[in-house]
Amino acid sequence: MLNNVQRELPDDLMKELRYQPFKTVEIGHPEIQRAAPKVTVDQGHAKLVSSIEAVIKKVGLKDGMTISFHHHFREGDYVFNAVMQILIDQGFKGLTLAPSSLTNVMNKMVVKAIKAGVVTHITSSGMRGELGDLVSHGGLENPVILRSHGNRARAIESGDIKIDVAFLGVPNSDEVGNANAIKGNAVFGSLGYALIDAQYADKVVLLTDTLMPYPNTPASIKQTQVDYVVKVDKVGDPEKIGSGATRFTKDPKELKIAEMVNAVITHSPYFKQGFSFQTGSGGAALAVTRYLRESMLKKSITASFALGGITKPTVDLLNEGLVGKILDVQDFDKGAADSMAITENQQEIDASWYADPNNKGAAVNQLDVCILSALEIDTKFNVNVMTGSDGVLRGAIGGHQDAANAKLTIISAPIVRGRIATVVDDVTTIVTPGDSIDVLVTELGIAINPKRKDLLKSLVNIPGVPVFTIEQLRQKAAKIVGQAAPLAFTDKPVALIEYRDGTLMDVVYQVKD
């Protein structure tokens, strides 16, 4: 079956997993019946458990169940590996792993769990490194289901993901489960993704190294949601949660791209008093924030809010009065995480509020300007952030599909990376459909999606910003690197890319070596 972005989807798998093909980026007004968790009633007098082993017994974890984790500790996570090792040791089989995402520090453990038959199904935002390699080479029998952060919230709410036990690491909690992530030894700021698990999992287990006196406020996760609290030695390494002090790039190519991204924003009709933006992380994105700051000061324009994964430079804009509020689903660095405790206008939001398509209006729907990255973008403006140039899983959807609903969605990417073209005829894997993308910015110039004729007038005559068709940019890339031989895949699906509404966007196949 062919979907609306011309990807051939395997009929038998579609039928088996009851998938509809991707049709449109318009969500419309469907009526949704939400699922509700099973609650084991408790008065909360004996929630504190002394070990992970003991809590696994208490929650009644069985073979074949679905377990979840969050990835807010990023590369400094100790909780995931500690819990998974015990599940492997105790010989559990056939579990479904449903974390908000998988970071590199978890890879070895997931590989081990797959090989031991402990984990047989995975749904995640993405995967990288040796885990991505293993799955792309057919190491997991069932295809991984990849969902955006907004789509994960939707899937949990609708019951597509039914979490039996959520193991949630928190920097602090009291003995009955009131917890936040702004105090303790391993602070990460917003608990955004974990809040959905706390709300919808049948059993919610908090793991913390810092017990607070009751009542612990502000409570991001509440005692009404929590079954057990486990005291562990250390939940995470604060040094590895974020990159520490965020440094601005000195790479002239990244600076040039950032300068052009800023020019596109400031010349667009959306750059006016009270606008909103999401920049994300990465060298170029941080540089954009710096250029944008200068433009805002010069034009005396302030933003109403900044959204998404938050970094220190965005918090600086807030403190400077250039941004009114921050809607914060996740913090990318220590500066942003630490500031949450002391900054009133840095509002923690959950993944549903952030980006869920099937609620009564998410923050991404209010967003004016969004800057996103791409591993590949094709002449239809479809974007790949999932598979590398060798066809192997090495990325994450993150909020890409969700934030791309901004009024002005800009993809910032170098025209080539090493010998690999970024602008191509057809991306290896479609993650975000071209209908969501408005402008591509490269160091050579920009391309405007022909569907956005309204943008042409304001963007064609910006000094120092040449405008090309995306086909012209593709040709320029091909001229630099030559024509790559097509990648070879087997017919075994290893991962399914959902669109944020739960329809099927693309299929990743096993690579042929």
Q: Does 41 bind another protein (CB under 8 A)?
A: no
Q: Considering the rule CB under 8 A, would residue 480 count as an interface residue with another protein?
A: yes
Q: Please identify which residue in 1, 32, 54, 484 interacts with another protein, judged by CB under 8 A.
A: 484
Contacts made by residues 491-494, CB under 8 angstroms, sequence distance 24+: 492/138, 493/10, 493/13, 493/143, 494/135, 494/136, 494/138, 494/140, 494/143, 494/144, 494/393
Minimum distance from CB of 131 to another protein (Å)?
20
Contact status: 321 vs another protein (CB under 8 A): no
10 binds another protein (CB under 8 A): no
Nearer to another protein, 42 or 390 (CB): 390
Q: Report the alpha-carbon angle 400-401-407, nearest 5.
A: 95
The CA distances from residue 391 to 99, 135, 147, 378, in Å, are 23, 12, 18, 15
* Nearest approach, Cβ of residue 488 and another protein (Å): 8
Q: How far is the CB of 350 from another protein (least distance, A)?
A: 39
The answer to whether 482 contacts another protein (rule: CB under 8 A) is yes
Residue type, 173: S
97 has which bridge partners?
A: 67, 122
CB–CB of 303/316 below 8 Å?
Answer: no
Contacts with another protein by CB under 8 A: the residue count is: 14
Q: How far apart are CA 148 and CA 260, in angstroms?
A: 28
What is the chain's alpha carbon radius of gyration, rounded to the nearest angstrom? 22
Among 103-111, 407-415, 438-446, 479-487, which window interacts with another protein (CB under 8 A)?
A: 479-487
Q: Considering only CA atoms, which of 476, 464, 507, 466 is closest in space to residue 489?
A: 507
Tell me how far, at minimum, the Cβ of 288 lies from another protein, in Å: 24
Q: Shortest Cβ distance from residue 390 to another protein (Å)?
A: 5
In the bound complex, what is the minimum distance in angstroms from residue 136's beta carbon to another protein? Answer: 12
Give the DSSP H/E element, type plus range, for residue 314: helix 312-319
Q: Is the CB of 15 or the CB of 479 nearer to another protein?
A: 479
Q: Do 191 and 178 meet the contact criterion of CB atoms below 8 Å apart?
A: no
CB atoms inside a 10 Å sphere around CB 508: 23
Strand partners, 170: 208
175 close to 50: Cβ distance less than 8 angstroms: no
Q: Which two tokens stand for residue 431?
A: 């993650």
Q: Mark residues 43-82: x for contact with another protein by CB under 8 A, - for none.
A: ----------------------------------------
Q: Site residues for another protein, window 386-425 (CB under 8 A)? A: 389-391, 417-420
Pick the closer one to another protein by CB: 36 or 488.
488
Nearer to another protein, 323 or 424 (CB): 424
Q: 299 or 417: whose CB is closer to another protein?
A: 417
CA within 13 Å, CB half, 89: 9
Question: Can you tell me which of 86, 211, 465, 481 binds another protein, judged by CB under 8 A?
Answer: 481
Pairing state between β 383-384 and 376-378? antiparallel
- For another protein, give the closer residue by CB, 48 or 487: 487
Stretch that binds another protein, among 60-68, 114-122, 312-320, 383-391 (CB under 8 A): 383-391
**3-class DSSP state of 296:** helix
Whole-number minimum distance, CB 481 to another protein, in Å?
Answer: 7
Q: Which of 26, 33, 485, 491 binds another protein (CB under 8 A)?
A: 485
CB of 252 to another protein, least distance (A): 15
Instruction: Report the Cα 131 to chain-centroid distance in Å.
Output: 18
Q: Is the CB of 93 or the CB of 492 nearer to another protein?
A: 492
**What does the block give as tokens for 279?**
């920049």
Q: Which is nearer to another protein, 203 or 394 (CB)?
A: 394
Residue 154 in contact with residue 356, Cβ under 8 Å? Answer: yes
CA angle 471, 287, 364 (to 5 degrees): 75
The residue (of 250 and 457) whose beta carbon lies closer to another protein is 250
Shortest distance, position 381 Cβ to another protein, whole Å: 22
CB of 482 to another protein, least distance (A): 6
Interface residues toward another protein, by CB under 8 A: 389-391, 417-420, 480-482, 484-485, 487-488
